[in-house]
Amino acid sequence: MSKSQHDKLLNNIRELLTQGRQQVVAAVNAAMVQTYWEIGRLIVEDEQQGESRAAYGKEVLKRLSDSLSQEFGKGFDLTNLRKMRAFYLCFPKRDALRLELSWTHYRTLTRIENEQARQWYMKEAAEQCWSARALERQMGTLYYERLLATQHGKQGLQPVLAEAEQKTSVLQDTPQDYLRDPYILDFLNLPAGSVQENELEQELINNLQKFLLELGKGFAFVERQQRISTDDGDYFIDLVFYNFHLKCFLLIDLKMHRLTHQDVGQMDMYVRMYEEKKRRGDDNPTIGLILCSEGNHTVAKYSVLNDSQQLFASKYKLELPSEEELRLQLEQQRQLLSQKSE
């Protein structure tokens, strides 16, 4: 057997073994999730027939933990049994479980008190193939809450609950559903107010995986400082991405200052140039996103941003806003809507 034949055979066997291991891991994971769900169900049903919840937690679960640990080893301590119980209570319908998610995913999800948010995070984690760490990060940055604030800030607070339920179904394929304001770049660990544009750009590239999570679903990185050549010179776009759901390019221009009409004009030009020189025939219209340190209501209202379906501006924050700040943002936007309707 020649070396090339040997290498080909080795690679084929290696690929087969890798696929087999992945299938085994997936099967074991699915069995574990379903088994722990069933254990949680048995505990809850037994609890409902017996003593008070407090007495049950202190006595019955402790004895059960001791017996299971002696027979089956680690994994059945008192804490884990309580988590299995919480797992069943949070996800009472077995056929609604996403078996591609691990037990670690579900332990994380059970910490979410809001049922609609919990269901939304479960669906997104499964569809976007988030690792348990990625799920933890998205929850920690209030991804769901910020998405609702972005999509419904202009419509007041009433649609938020309805939207929370809708988010467990298919999202509409429009740019507004994929872009948010603000973007939270806390994972960069940069000091607010003393960063240059090239430093921010470099850190985003260094933390590309986390930035893709912050951008949202369906984004893939294309190029940094992509050059567009014209008869009058070369122009460079800070960051270029492609969204496979929207089937279009996303151009990002980073600004370290408050949004200006010059920024809007520059991005408008970039989008027009990209449409002519880079966009392919089967692509949807290019989107331009200006990421600035501070918004500008006047510029947004009286520039092409106001009615454009291709140009957007969002703030970025280097620190995560508190829940109180998010609540105030929603309230301010509701008041603006009320004033406009009077």
Digit-coded pLDDT (tens) for 319-340: 655 666 656 665 665 565 455 4
316 and 216: one domain?
yes
pLDDT for position 154? 45
CA distance 307 to 151: 16
310 and 224: one domain?
yes
271 and 189: one domain?
yes
pLDDT for position 91? 92
Could you tell me if residue 175 is inside a domain?
Answer: no
Domains: count for the chain? 3
Instruction: List, for residues 279-296, the tens digit of each pLDDT value.
Output: 888 888 888 888 887 777
- Determine if the pTM surpasses 0.85: no
- Residue ranges of alpha helices (H) inside 128-254 are 132-140, 143-152, 158-166, 175-178, 197-206, 208-215
pLDDT for position 89? 92
Beta bridge partners of 291: 254, 314
Could you tell me if residue 333 is inside a domain?
Answer: yes
Q: How far apart are the first and last CA of the chain?
A: 84
Q: Which residues, given as ranges, of the chain have pLDDT below 70? A: 1, 22-26, 49-58, 149-189, 191-195, 316-342
Could you tell me if residue 164 is inside a domain?
Answer: yes
128 and 148: one domain?
yes
56 and 116: one domain?
no
Could you tell me if residue 143 is inside a domain?
Answer: yes
Could you tell me if residue 120 is inside a domain?
Answer: yes
194 and 228: one domain?
yes
Report DSSP state, residue 186: G
Could you tell me if residue 202 is inside a domain?
Answer: yes
217 and 335: one domain?
no
The sign of the CA dihedral 178, 183, 189, 193 is positive
Domain with 106, as residue range(s), is 3-110
